[in-house]
Structure 1
């Protein structure tokens, strides 16, 4: 035991000194290393002191952590304040920019309003001048139209009188013409009737020349419809009524004649082209 007395005293002194320094808070670095000269036989004493060392180390670490946290808080606080200052500066710049933009917008709007007011003034002035011009033109037009109406009324009255005079003259001329036409028509009607009777008689005579009769036909008659071309050519013969034997003989006589006498006058021929007549044998 005498061999270990010196090291034990030394170890105890060292740990006591470290403990005092820790309690005073004057050191934050690692403690000096334990001398290697200690023998394994003092393991229990060393182990007992190791707990104090570990507590010491832990307190140092806690102190360091507290300092680190305090420094970190300071840094974060400084950063926060810097951010606030920057945000405030940015806000001031943004407020300034908005104020300048608002001022520019207000100036733009003011200029636009002044421009619109000037345009409105010019528009109203143009409308006033236009209205005055239109009123003047309308008055001139109305005066011109009034004179034109008076001129037209006078012209229409003159034309009306002339038309009335012409109408009266035309009426008199028409009456005279109608009288003349009626006289001519009556004369022509008599002439046509005379011509129609003439050619009807000639047609009957032609049929009689070609008609073959016998005693049985005496006192009998047959009514025919004969259609003629413009040259007198017979185109169709139809029996309307009468004795059958006489009608067959009369039909044959017409076809045998081939052509019948017709007038060269168109109005006379018009009444001959589709003619109905009665055939009676001369017995």
Structure 2
């Protein structure tokens, strides 16, 4: 046990003991403020007045209070001392641990530096060994390359002579073949030109015939389309002499993809659009060329009134 702490405990015990003795000894004494001895009746002359004893209770309480305060101050002082001692111990321990950690860290750093130094030395030795090996290898490769280059040069000279000879033979052969090919081409071009002219004349005749056929078919189907619109068109005398220009786009099966009014009398055009929508599908030629001519129509619709 710490000597200072032991001394504090002894002082504290002594003060407690003194307080207990004072309380026991004066318990009955301080029960009242004053004690008087009064003479009996008829004996007043012989009575000797007794001195009353008065005890100051507040002084006693003040004394007890001072003792308690002193004790409390001593206790706090001792606690502060003990706390300071504990803090000093902890500080010493911390400093000791910190010093040990720093020492260990320094040892680790030293070992690390030694290891790094060894590794660096080994790396340098390995690198030197590698470079020496590469230098020797490169020396051998250079020697082999030089030998191969010389052999390649000889081979290229031989190939060059052979190529020159072959080139001369090839040039003579190509010249003869070219002259022959040019003659054959002139003859072939003349024949193809004659054939092309004949084919173009035949194609033009077919196109003219097809165009006439398409025009005829277009007019025929257009007439059927307009007739179907007329069948579904409800008109009256107010529409007489009026007309409406519309655009109709058709699918290959004659289905109306879209219909749009371009210009004309508003009431007449609205009636014509209802007729087109009511018709739904129109006659359509199976010939793709005729369909191309009919798929986007812009007819001018006039009501048939009698």
TM-score (norm 2): 0.47
For residues 155 and 266 of structure 2, the distance between their equivalents in structure 1, rounded to whole angstroms, comes to: 100
**1:260 maps to 2:282:** yes
Local SS of the residue matching 1:238: strand
Q: Cα distance, 1:258 vs. partner?
A: 0.9
Distance 1:199 1:136, change over 3 A: closer
Q: Cα distance, 1:140 vs. partner?
A: 4.8
For residues 265 and 209 of structure 1, the distance between their equivalents in structure 2, rounded to whole angstroms, comes to: 25
Specify which of 172, 179, 184 is matched with residue 194 of structure 2. 172
The C-alpha deviation readout for 1:174-204, integer Å capped at 9, x for no partner, is: 1111110010000000000010111111111
**1:279 maps to 2:301:** yes
Distance 1:212 1:146, change over 3 A: same
For residues 146 and 250 of structure 1, the distance between their equivalents in structure 2, rounded to whole angstroms, comes to: 84
Specify which of 180, 183, 198 is matched with residue 161 of structure 1. 183
Q: Which runs of 4+ in 1 moved over 2 A?
A: 130-144
Query: What corresponds to 1:185 in structure 2?
Result: 207
Q: Cα distance, 1:137 vs. partner?
A: 6.2
**1:202 maps to 2:227:** no
Query: What corresponds to 2:240 in structure 1?
Result: 218
**1:240 maps to 2:236:** no
For residues 270 and 155 of structure 2, the distance between their equivalents in structure 1, rounded to whole angstroms, comes to: 99
Q: Cα distance, 1:141 vs. partner?
A: 3.6
Q: Cα distance, 1:261 vs. partner?
A: 1.1
In the alignment, structure 2 segments of 5+ residues that lack a partner are 1-151
For residues 162 and 252 of structure 2, the distance between their equivalents in structure 1, rounded to whole angstroms, comes to: 73
Distance 1:275 1:133, change over 3 A: closer
Distance 1:218 1:137, change over 3 A: closer
With 260-269 and 138-147 compared, the bigger mean Cα shift is at 138-147
Local SS of the residue matching 2:269: helix
What is the RMSD computed on CA atoms of the aligned residues?
A: 2.5
1:78-97 equivalent positions in 2, closer than 5 A? none
Q: Cα distance, 1:144 vs. partner?
A: 2.7
Local SS of the residue matching 1:226: strand
In the alignment, structure 1 segments of 5+ residues that lack a partner are 1-129
Distance 1:151 1:210, change over 3 A: same
Local SS of the residue matching 1:207: helix
> How many residue pairs align between the two structures?
157
1:3-82 equivalent positions in 2, closer than 5 A? none
Larger Rg: 1
Q: Cα distance, 1:226 vs. partner?
A: 0.6
Specify which of 229, 232, 251 is matched with residue 229 of structure 1. 251
